[in-house]
Amino acid sequence: MLTNTAFEPAGQEYVTIKGIKNGLVFKLADDVQFDAVLGALTAKLGNGSSPFSSGAKVTVYVDYGSRELTPEIQDAVEKVFLAVGEIQVKLYQESEEEEPQASHKLLPKPPYVYKGTIRSGQLIEHDGDVVIIGNVNPGAHIVASGDIYVFGRLRGYVHAGASGNVRAIVAAAYFEPMQVRIATVIRRSPEAYSHPAEMEFAHLEGDQMAVEKMSLLQNFQNLLMTDKAVI
């Protein structure tokens, strides 16, 4: 079940998150007072569950909708992100999305956003992207037809691209999964890591699965194959 923050009344989200080819877009509601939106953004990021606190430089996009964009508003939003990590904040534009391949292409489904800990035995399954603002414990399962983003510690079982999407990714602030599956490729993580768990993402390179530092996500499609590990 989705949960609302204290700043968001039931049935209404002031801040929604979606994945695009270049990373994450934070869409801010434009029909409520800006102070309420800013409070909801602060609560969603949260110091303890944000992947941005790992130290890697990250770029995010912000969609302000039809709200009049003033320097004061932009500055306030940037300060919220900078409070949790080294983040470059850009204005979202339609060009950030992938170009449609055909006129009949379906619009992307909205992501499923869950705030809290996914405990052992729990299952989250969604046709689209899944965003977890919290930890995924050992024995928990997440299945998504799109990407999986964990704003916390990932130690459970995850399956991205469950409908066969080989371009799906699994990203986490602390990457320690028991098992990662993307499309039909399955890999178990080693019993012990040679480096501390950190902000990383997994993707496919042919029939192999690679794990990269999150700072390379923005250039995923044109990666220089460096600083990677195969699991």
Please write the tens of the pLDDT for every residue from 126-149.
Answer: 999 999 999 999 999 999 999 999
Instruction: Tell the CATH topology of 112-230.
Output: Pectate Lyase C-like (2.160.20)
Domain limits of the chain? 15-96, 112-230
Strands (E), 57-194: 58-63, 87-91, 112-115, 123-126, 130-133, 141-144, 148-154, 157-160, 170-175, 179-182, 185-188
- The span from the CA of 131 to the CA of 123, in Å, is 14
82: CB partners within 8 A, 6+ apart? none
- The span from the CA of 19 to the CA of 135, in Å, is 19
Please write the tens of the pLDDT for every residue from 80-118.
Answer: 888 877 788 888 877 666 544 444 445 567 899 999 999
| pTM for this prediction | 0.53
Instruction: Tell the CATH topology of 15-96.
Output: Transcription Regulator spoIIAA (3.30.750)
Let me know: does 17 contact 52? Beta carbons within 8 Å.
no
